[in-house]
Amino acid sequence: MEIVVVPCLYDNYSYLIINGKEAAVVDPSEAWPVMKVAAEKGLTLVAALCTHHHHDHIGGLPDLLDEYKNLEIYGFHQDQKRIPLITRPVEDEARFSVCGLDVDVIHTPGHTSTHIVFAVEDHLFVGDTLFGAGCGRLFEGTAEQMVHSLDRILQCGKQSRIFFGHEYTEFNLRFAAQVDPVNPAIDERIASVRKMRNADQPSTPSTLEEELATNPFLRIEDGSIIDQLEREHNLDSTDRVTVFAALREQRNNFS
Ligand code: ZN
Ligand code: FE
């Protein structure tokens, strides 16, 4: 298996999962950058995997279908109304096979109520649930749902590789440095991400281990993050959902 990162639109990432001469695309924001890589590598695109219904994740589907008539489109069964092009609706904990590879589905409500993550071996395609040093905005789900969704991702193990949907890492790390100021891993990651970005390299994928060390939304039990939040907000409790909600709100107002 080979993964190719395909930058799309302004800061989106689509991914090609390649096995032999077959490929599946995750979150095709646009068709042409995906088709270009497929043509260069002589690949047949057999499937599209859609993490959620937002246009910047599915906008390329119609043009891809024009080019690849047999393209199978996988998406969450409860997203069929919002992604009418789905041909293969999948449920939470479903396992299916594309390009000879097993894909597992994890329902991760929070950013949207119908968001899913695709797991291929230890590669997690997390869409807008988790980002480098951040997480998706809560457009439809609650803080409680998102905490649960992130916990399910954490169950996949530290060595999992995280392929996220947007290049927000540098900005997210600035926020992380503010809310978690005594964490040296954040400074190290800022330096390494800056290097990548200056060389025009994507900061995706990361590992879950790296996120656990630097992503404040996975560190909601950390004493210094909680102390910081208690100074900013009047937290009535320090349970994980309350901490997460306060942190998410603080991030929404961060600029
Ligand atoms: Zn989205
Ligand atoms: Fe998005």
Residue 150, classified by CB atoms within 10 Å of its CB into exposed (0-12), middle (13-18) or buried (19+), is buried
* Positions marked catalytic: 52, 54, 56-57, 111, 128, 166
Using the mean position of ligand 2's atoms as its centre, give its distance from the Cα of residue 169 in Å.
14
Domain tally, the chain: 1
In-domain check, residue 73 = no
| Ligand that comes closest to the CA of residue 165 | 2
Using the mean position of ligand 1's atoms as its centre, give its distance from the Cα of residue 103 in Å.
21
- Please, which pLDDT band fits residue 234 given cuts at 50, 70 and 90? confident
Q: Please choose, from the candidates 122, 104, 105, 123, the residue with its C-alpha nearest in 3D space to the C-alpha of residue 114.
A: 105
In-domain check, residue 174 = yes
In-domain check, residue 206 = yes
pLDDT in tens, 62-76: 999 999 999 999 999
pLDDT score for 184: 97
Using the mean position of ligand 2's atoms as its centre, give its distance from the Cα of residue 58 in Å.
10
In-domain check, residue 133 = no
Neighbours of 20 (CB within 10 A): 11
Q: Please choose, from the candidates 24, 39, 31, 25, the residue with its C-alpha nearest in 3D space to the C-alpha of residue 8.
A: 31
| Ligand that comes closest to the CA of residue 166 | 2
pLDDT score for 236: 84
pLDDT score for 166: 98
In-domain check, residue 173 = yes
- The reply to whether the predicted model has a pTM over 0.85 is yes
In-domain check, residue 60 = no
pLDDT score for 27: 98
Q: What is the mean pLDDT of residues 99-105?
A: 98
pLDDT in tens, 169-226: 999 999 999 999 999 999 999 999 999 999 999 999 999 999 999 999 999 999 999 9
CA 212, 199, 192 angle in degrees (round to 5)? 30
pLDDT score for 222: 96
In-domain check, residue 244 = yes
Using the mean position of ligand 2's atoms as its centre, give its distance from the Cα of residue 102 in Å.
25
| Ligand that comes closest to the CA of residue 11 | 2
CA 213, 150, 139 angle in degrees (round to 5)? 120
Helices and strands (DSSP H and E) totals, the chain: 9, 14
Helix H or strand E encompassing 134: strand 134-135
pLDDT in tens, 124-173: 999 999 999 999 999 999 999 999 999 999 999 999 999 999 999 999 99
In-domain check, residue 101 = no
Neighbours of 156 (CB within 10 A): 18
pLDDT score for 233: 84
Using the mean position of ligand 2's atoms as its centre, give its distance from the Cα of residue 53 in Å.
9
Q: Which tokens go with 240?
A: 């994980």
Instruction: Tell me the residue range of the domain where 245 lies.
Output: 169-252
pLDDT score for 143: 98
C-alpha R_g of the chain: 18
